[in-house]
Amino acid sequence: MYQYIENGSVTSTIGFKAAGIFCGIKRKKKDLALIYSDKPCAAAGTYTLNKVKAAPLLITKDAVEKSDFVNAVLVNSGNANACTGDEGFIDAYTMQKQCAEKLGISSNKVLIASTGVIGQKLPVEKIITGLDEIIPQLSCTGGYDAAEAIMTTDTKIKSYAVKINSAGGSITIGGICKGSGMIMPNMATMLAFISTDAEIEKTLLQELLSGAVKISFNKISVDGETSTNDMALLLANGASNIKIEKGTEEYFSFKEALEDICREMAKAIVSDGEGATKLVTINVKNAPTQADADLIGKSIANSSLVKTAIYGADANWGRILSAAGQSGADFDPAKVLISFDDLPILMPDYKLALDEEKASAILSKDSFVINIDLNYGSEGSTWWTCDLTEEYVKINADYRT
């Protein structure tokens, strides 16, 4: 049993504070975020699969793996500190070390992340100066400012919290995240920072995060790109005094709520994808294996031809079937059923059930579901994508200037 908290954020959890400020990396907008818990937190993370990994990501991965507990996450936007060589590593270490010193904790208790342009030197001195301003601003209502400070081409703040009621009392999970280009399955697609006041042992925390990421952040695509910097972090400080142990009722409630908030964040990223005007859910049903369902979902979610047709509200179901066909998955095209929301489009043996007007009305909505029933097994997979618009091209043709 859980419910969403209105205006919830990463600071809706007991004991977590945050702040977001402008420190001078971007031109005007907030570009530095800090999340902090006095009480030490078990930490878990999932990271990009891109071979090119940014310095802050490698440092954070190392700290999550080696530290029993952490206290803070420091994030800058406007510069990814990726492909910046040894100097980039020194800058990232400096960012981590200075933050730790000013908080009075050891370096490996601070996780760091960066997002923005690749290949430009990080103006680390601006971050150091910014630390003196941001630390005094830490507050239990600062989640929204932090969410704003991690944005790049995002147009909307993405901030959520859920409250889980259990026999022993209530637990909260809060999260903030950012997109919004370079979004593609396999993590490496965005930044997400999630807090909880549950007490959870580190190995279990990692297992829960990895499981939730697999069905949320790893099931979305804006443009099929996997970036060098992105990660999801989950920090648990135990401030609720409720301990989550595997197999208990609390465990299942927590797992369900964590998955749900991750899915909400993932969908928010897709909805706010660069140039996107529509959020599309792709339900692949009755595939022979989970892997086949995933191949098809991913191929449809990444198809430029499907995504442009959706933009044009054109019920071009042939492109959906063709995208499935090029996925490498095992299925029989002649058995496939396609529907948009509850409206049948294609029946087996290529029998058309297409009412162009009704189909176009569905495709004109802000949000709808494409169902593709392979009728060839019993496994399924849900994906989220957005439309591909002229605006995406405009944004990305001229990102650096």
- Which residues bind to a copy of itself, rule: CB under 8 A? 49-53, 80, 82-86, 88, 117-119, 181-182, 184, 188, 223-228, 302-305, 308-309, 311-312, 314, 316-319, 321-329, 331, 333-334, 346, 349-352, 388-390, 392-401
Of residues 20 and 88, the one with the C-beta less far from a copy of itself: 88
Nearest CA among 111, 130, 123, 117 for reference residue 79: 117
Nearest CA among 90, 383, 99, 111 for reference residue 231: 111
Establish whether 189 is a catalytic residue. Answer: yes
Of residues 72 and 295, the one with the C-beta less far from a copy of itself: 295
Of residues 1 and 393, the one with the C-beta less far from a copy of itself: 393
The CA distance from 181 to 203, in Å, is: 31
Given 11, 60, 84, 189, the catalytic residue: 189
* Nearest distance in Å: CB 399, a copy of itself: 7
SS3 22: coil
Contacts of 342 (CB under 8 A, 6+ apart): none
* Nearest distance in Å: CB 187, a copy of itself: 11
Of residues 118 and 235, the one with the C-beta less far from a copy of itself: 118
* Nearest distance in Å: CB 372, a copy of itself: 12
CA angle 342, 348, 352 (to 5 degrees): 65
The CA distance from 114 to 118, in Å, is: 10
The CA distance from 260 to 312, in Å, is: 30
127 φ, ψ to 5°? -70, -40
* Nearest distance in Å: CB 367, a copy of itself: 18
Of residues 85 and 168, the one with the C-beta less far from a copy of itself: 85
* Nearest distance in Å: CB 295, a copy of itself: 10
Of residues 24 and 224, the one with the C-beta less far from a copy of itself: 224
What are the beta bridge partners of residue 112? 74
What are the beta bridge partners of residue 379? 287
* Nearest distance in Å: CB 400, a copy of itself: 6
Extract long-range pairs of 83-89: CB within 8 Å, 24+ residues apart: 83/52, 83/54, 83/118, 83/119, 83/228, 84/54, 84/55, 84/119, 84/120, 84/121, 84/122, 87/121, 88/54, 88/55, 88/121, 88/122, 89/55, 89/58, 89/59
Q: What DSSP character marks residue 347?
A: E
Active site (catalytic) residues: 189
